[in-house]
Structure 1
Amino acid sequence: MQRMDVDLDVPAFLNSEKQNVPSNLQHYYVDFEDLYDRKLWHQLTQKVLEYLNEPESGPYQISLFQKFVVDWESKINKLSLVYIGLTTARKFTELQDSVNFLSEIITKVDTPETKDAYVYAVMEAAYFKLLMGQTEETKKAIDECEKILDQFDSVETVIYASFYRVSAEYFKAEADYAQYYKGALLYLACIDINKQLTKKEREDRAFDLAIAALLGNTIYNFGELLMHPILDSWTGTEHEWLRTLLFAFNAGDIGKFESLAGHFSELPVLQQNLDSLSRKICLMSLIEAVFKRSGDNRSIPFSDIAAETRLPNDEVEHLVMKALSLNLIRGSIDQVDQTVNVTWVQPRVLDRDQIDGMRKRLDIWNRDVNKIATFVQQEGGEVFAQ
């Protein structure tokens, strides 16, 4: 990609281009010339942004930037400049041309006052590098931008969305399921999924998150994903059974897991990791068994755990030790009495069924407290009177 000369005859370009674009876009060029002549830079920026959102403007965006926008780019809000530049960069057929184009934008926003726009441009350039397989360069960009963002109290949501999206794609390429899961959920929190993602993109994102949740070796609670509307994109699709599988894992439902295992042949990545999935569902079954118990009833016999997890009794201790090492629970093992004394269970994002279960336990606790209060009033009146 060659840099275009910025000494331009803007009116001549706009008039010429107006004849080339589809008729429904021609009015934009009339507005461009009028606003440019009147030096109404903010209104002109908004009109360009509106134009870029027109599907038919794609083939004309590169020339518009190189022969028009460059003439007054110093007047553009830097975040808008990056957005315009990014939209244009996506129209190049060669990825390296996109990187080169965005590199020029980066130099224009690399100032102390516009570090937010700098992060936006660097992360988007990093994404093109990732598509070219330049993972080391992508990671450097992520690390640099993370340090910059840590210095801000807040920035525009679009910048966080860019950072988390590109970071997630990097971790996906590296098969780091846990980091992908975290980054992808943070990205979804920054956007309106129904407006900013197509149906296919929602389905693909939901699928990637499901695989990451199932295979992430530090992910033992799916509540945040299960309550996310992104999973609604699976309704009526071939992957709808995956949603049921996620709920089964989150509830530690080994029976449901086994009933769905027949689908694993449809997804080789799950079939290849069947052993680790089996170990994970046992751990989640243990967590759920602890979570469902009241705080004063967490001395659990090995036999109860064996029944919940469907493991032989002699494998229970190893399972509990694994849960302790992963910091899923805290407590101690009594090898003599064959019990586990649990003092803490990992905090969880609860789905609706788990919330309802907690509500029922709170109702029971409330009734017990009321019984004690009534007993004290009836039997201890004389003591309190004295």
Structure 2
Amino acid sequence: MKDPIGFLRRQQEADTGDAAERWQRMETFYNRRLWHQLTVELLEFTLIPCFPSGDNLLQLYENFISDFEHRINPLSLVEIILRVVRQMNDAQMALSLLEKTWEKVNRERQVGSQQQRAFTLGLAALLGDGIYNFGELLMHPILESLRNTENQWLIDTLYAFNSGNVETFFSLKTNWGSQSDLANNEQRLKEKLQLLCLMEMVFTRPANHRQMTFQEISHQAKVPVDEVEMLVMKALSAGLVKGSIDEVDHKVHMTWVQPRVMDLQQVSFMKQRLEAWCADVKNISILVEDHAHEVLG
């Protein structure tokens, strides 16, 4: 059972100064059912420096906001939820929360469209801190509403992220650069895309040939050579890949990459890999048969 007041008081005890005062104000607004004042406080509070990291926003939503979200102005609720999903590591959970919020907003306002809903989902996926599985979203039928429209660029951008294509992303800057949420987070998006690029480089290589030089990664991910090691370390710490770094020879050896839902192009590539593997197995089988008599004597 939720205990909003208990949650607020625990936060008051843990924080000091302005943060503690804000928690106290929110408790007062909540007890007096001053929903507008509480919403304004939340919109300001969720932007202060302590919230962008960790799962602070997610904890705030689950333990407090979800108790009275039906009282929040629909547009303000969407704005808050977009901030929350950026801290969700599970793409499916993030999409479910966005869909639930969108349905609530539509019920209350009786407005909206499939395109608006798809656009919101796409932006949230790009900005979500723990969302790296774009293939799952690209398979969602709701995105079809954006095809062949003025917002087609968003689908193209999602595909660029899914394949870790840095060049394509920046070729679309005239489109996404006009969206304040994306433009204001350009560096953050670039860093996320570079991680996805590294994942794609590992994915597209055979399991027995996953050694890459710093120079190769630098060229593909569009990152300076002296920053490659940090990029790889971020990917390792986030659990996106597994492997080791050879600082002396400036190489990395990858042994695993986080599974993802593949788009059609990636499936086609995997098919080619399997066909090549089958051909190798057949050749080895023939070789063994041809030389079996030498082994058996």
The offset of 1:200, in angstroms, is 4.0
CA contact (8 A) 1:331 1:343 kept: yes
The offset of 1:340, in angstroms, is 0.5
User: Is 1:278 equivalent to 2:190 in the alignment?
Assistant: yes
2:216 aligned residue: 304
In structure 2, how many angstroms separate the alpha carbons of the residues matched to 1:300 and 1:212?
32
Residue identity matched to 1:291: F
What does the per-residue CA deviation read over 1:168-224, in whole Å, with 9 as the maximum and x for residues that have no partner? 96961644325395335347999xx9xx99994322221121111111111122000
1:201 aligned residue: 113
**Structure label with greater radius of gyration:** 1
Residue ranges of structure 1 left out of the alignment (5+ in a row): 1-128, 145-167
Alignment equivalent of 1:183, drawn from 73, 93, 96? 93
Q: Residue 267 and residue 288 in structure 1: after superposition, are their counterparts in 2 closer, same or farther (change >3 A)? A: same
Q: Residue 363 and residue 189 in structure 1: after superposition, are their counterparts in 2 closer, same or farther (change >3 A)? A: farther
Partner SS, residue 297 of structure 1: coil
1:70 aligned residue: none
Alignment equivalent of 1:247, drawn from 148, 159, 167? 159
In structure 2, how many angstroms separate the alpha carbons of the residues matched to 1:223 and 1:345?
15
What does the per-residue CA deviation read over 1:83-107, in whole Å, with 9 as the maximum and x for residues that have no partner? xxxxxxxxxxxxxxxxxxxxxxxxx
The offset of 1:338, in angstroms, is 0.9
Q: Residue 347 and residue 310 in structure 1: after superposition, are their counterparts in 2 closer, same or farther (change >3 A)? A: same
Partner SS, residue 172 of structure 2: helix
CA contact (8 A) 1:328 1:345 kept: yes
In structure 2, how many angstroms separate the alpha carbons of the residues matched to 1:277 and 1:221?
14
2:139 aligned residue: 227
Residue identity matched to 2:85: D
1:366 aligned residue: 278
Partner SS, residue 304 of structure 1: helix
User: Is 1:212 equivalent to 2:121 in the alignment?
Assistant: no
In structure 2, how many angstroms separate the alpha carbons of the residues matched to 1:130 and 1:373?
73
State the 4+ residue runs in structure 1 displaced beyond 6 angstroms: 129-132, 134-138, 141-144, 187-190, 196-199
User: Is 1:319 equivalent to 2:228 in the alignment?
Assistant: no
Residue identity matched to 1:263: N
CA contact (8 A) 1:181 1:212 kept: no
Identical-residue share of aligned pairs (%): 40
Residue identity matched to 1:356: S
In structure 2, how many angstroms separate the alpha carbons of the residues matched to 1:130 and 1:349?
41
Q: Residue 173 and residue 366 in structure 1: after superposition, are their counterparts in 2 closer, same or farther (change >3 A)? A: closer
In structure 2, how many angstroms separate the alpha carbons of the residues matched to 1:211 and 1:187?
14
CA contact (8 A) 2:82 2:124 kept: no
In structure 1, how many angstroms separate the alpha carbons of the residues matched to 2:223 and 2:257?
21
Partner SS, residue 177 of structure 2: helix
Alignment equivalent of 2:81, drawn from 172, 175, 178? 172
Higher relative contact order (CA 8 A, sep 6+): 2
Alignment equivalent of 1:259, drawn from 171, 195, 213? 171
Alignment equivalent of 1:380, drawn from 279, 292, 295? 292
- Pairing 1:8-27 to 2, within 5 Å after superposition: none
CA contact (8 A) 2:87 2:130 kept: yes
Number of residue pairs matched? 230
Query: What's the C-alpha RMSD, in Å, of the aligned pairs?
Result: 3.3
CA contact (8 A) 1:223 1:351 kept: yes
Q: Residue 334 and residue 267 in structure 1: after superposition, are their counterparts in 2 closer, same or farther (change >3 A)? A: same
Residue ranges of structure 2 left out of the alignment (5+ in a row): 1-33, 43-58, 68-76
The offset of 1:143, in angstroms, is 7.9
Alignment equivalent of 1:289, drawn from 197, 201, 210? 201
- Pairing 1:22-61 to 2, within 5 Å after superposition: none
Residue identity matched to 2:267: I
Q: Residue 138 and residue 255 in structure 1: after superposition, are their counterparts in 2 closer, same or farther (change >3 A)? A: closer
CA contact (8 A) 1:130 1:170 kept: no
The offset of 1:296, in angstroms, is 0.2
Task: Return 231-240 or 176-185, whichever deviates more.
Answer: 176-185
- Pairing 1:106-125 to 2, within 5 Å after superposition: none
Residue identity matched to 1:177: R
